[in-house]
Amino acid sequence: MLQLSRISKLTINRVRVRYLPFFMSRNLEHALYGLQGDFDNETKGKLAHLFHLECQKNPRYFLDCLEEATCWAAGSHEESWSALGEGANSLHRGTNLGLLFNESDDHYFLGEI
């Protein structure tokens, strides 16, 4: 995975496109709620639906969740991938997806693709 994180462009049908992979901890319920365990599809669906409803009421909620889950993955994109590979970090709640919405860094900002 660390090798994939270092790729910045891909060629598809002779067209070069930007490539910037992001990660989220083990699964959706762990990333969004910090829940651990083996949940059935119905429970996963309910949790995803609750998250959707909350984001509908308060769009800022999505970014707040990303900021909260980014606790150990803060820093640059490269630093976040390095942190993921240290010890058991990949098993802890975390994501670097919040970097995608960081307007202060033109490299990640969605507006510049």
Which residue is listed with tokens 């998250």? 51
28-72 residue pLDDT tens: 787 777 788 889 999 999 999 999 999 999 989 988 887 776 655
Q: What are the angstrom distances between the C-alpha of 53 and each of 47, 67, 108?
A: 10, 19, 27
Q: φ and ψ at 35, to 5 degrees?
A: -85, 140
Strand partners, 49: none
Per-residue confidence (pLDDT) for residue 111, from 0 to 100? 45
Q: Parallel, antiparallel, or unpaired: how do β-strands 9-12 and 15-18 relate?
A: antiparallel
Per-residue confidence (pLDDT) for residue 63, from 0 to 100? 82
Mean of all residue pLDDT scores within the chain:
80
Per-residue confidence (pLDDT) for residue 66, from 0 to 100? 77
- Global pTM value: 0.64
Q: What are the angstrom distances between the C-alpha of 25 and each of 9, 22, 41, 54, 93?
A: 24, 10, 18, 20, 5
User: Could you tell me the two tokens for 90?
Assistant: 């990949």
